[in-house]
């Protein structure tokens, strides 16, 4: 994802790459990572030093849950607007980062998914839940993904819960003969996480009603599909103060 962001910025005349931070490829010209002409920006490992020296307007972070909170808090403290695609933030952390952003008078964005198609999938699922309250979420990712369920699945569940009262689905006498077979429980419905090599990113929300089912599914095939959303996020955080959770706020 970091390489895709570098490519996006270098190829977009309205954006300027001023720093590239990563734990690998130190000293490499960022453009070399994406087969573009030399940019003069080399990859460094020290985030704080890079932010202090380059003074960017925005930091785009696609790291891991272990580092994302501290990276985001550091950026805000230096007056840099964070656009974060990493998942795994707690509600308390998001609220805290919102306060930090407002105190600095800058915008921030934490988006479990930057794909416009995925956002529409979530919105459609939330709307359908008004009429089909019985549902389950199935999300599929590669076997190296660290968090389960995915941030997209959690955000989908939260949006659905806003349109649906908690009802416990299935037979009240249901019993799991293998622990976890029915998936994670949220607001009365289940979330299932599949982790397999060869899988990129897909999610399906399946609704059941009398004599019918409805399936709303989104499939991502490559990381470049997230970049139009990343660019919109970069532009939007320049326009408000506070931390926004979810790219869906930008899709009417």
Catalytic residue among 141, 155, 218, 231: 141
- 145: annotated active-site residue: yes
In whole angstroms, what is the distance from residue 75 CA to residue 88 CA?
18
Q: Which residues pair with 107 in a beta bridge?
A: 242
d(C-alpha 155, C-alpha 102), whole Å: 23
In DSSP terms, 209 is beta-bridged to: 212
How many whole angstroms separate alpha carbon 237 and alpha carbon 229? Answer: 12
Catalytic residue among 102, 134, 145, 236: 145
141 catalytic per annotation: yes
**Angle, alpha carbons 158-228-4 (nearest 5°):** 105
Question: Known catalytic residues?
Answer: 141, 145
């Amino acid at each position: 994802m970091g390489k895709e962001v570098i490519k996006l910025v270098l190829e977009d005349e309205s954006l300027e790459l001023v720093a590239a931070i990563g734990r690998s490829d130190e000293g490499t010209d960022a453009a070399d990572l994406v087969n573009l002409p030399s940019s003069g920006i080399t990859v460094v490992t020290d985030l704080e030093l890079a932010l202090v020296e380059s003074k960017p307007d925005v930091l785009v972070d696609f790291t891991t849950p272990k580092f994302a909170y501290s990276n985001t808090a550091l950026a805000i403290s230096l007056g840099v607007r964070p656009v974060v695609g990493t998942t795994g933030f707690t509600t308390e952390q998001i609220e805290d980062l919102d306060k930090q952003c407002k105190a600095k008078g800058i915008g921030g964005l934490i988006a479990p998914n930057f794909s416009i198609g995925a956002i529409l999938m979530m919105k459609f699922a939330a709307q359908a839940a008004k009429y089909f309250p019985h549902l389950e979420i199935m999300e599929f990712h590669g076997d190296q993904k660290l968090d389960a369920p995915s941030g997209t699945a959690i955000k989908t569940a939260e949006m659905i819960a806003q349109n649906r009262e908690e009802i416990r689905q299935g037979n009240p006498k249901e019993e799991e003969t293998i622990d976890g077979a029915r998936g994670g429980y949220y607001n009365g419905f289940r979330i299932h996480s599949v982790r397999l090599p060869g899988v990129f990113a897909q999610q399906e929300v399946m609704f059941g009603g009398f004599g019918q089912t409805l399936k709303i599914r989104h499939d991502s095939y490559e990381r470049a599909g997230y970049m139009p959303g990343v660019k919109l996020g970069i532009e939007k955080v320049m326009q408000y103060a506070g931390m926004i959770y979810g790219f869906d706020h930008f899709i009417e």
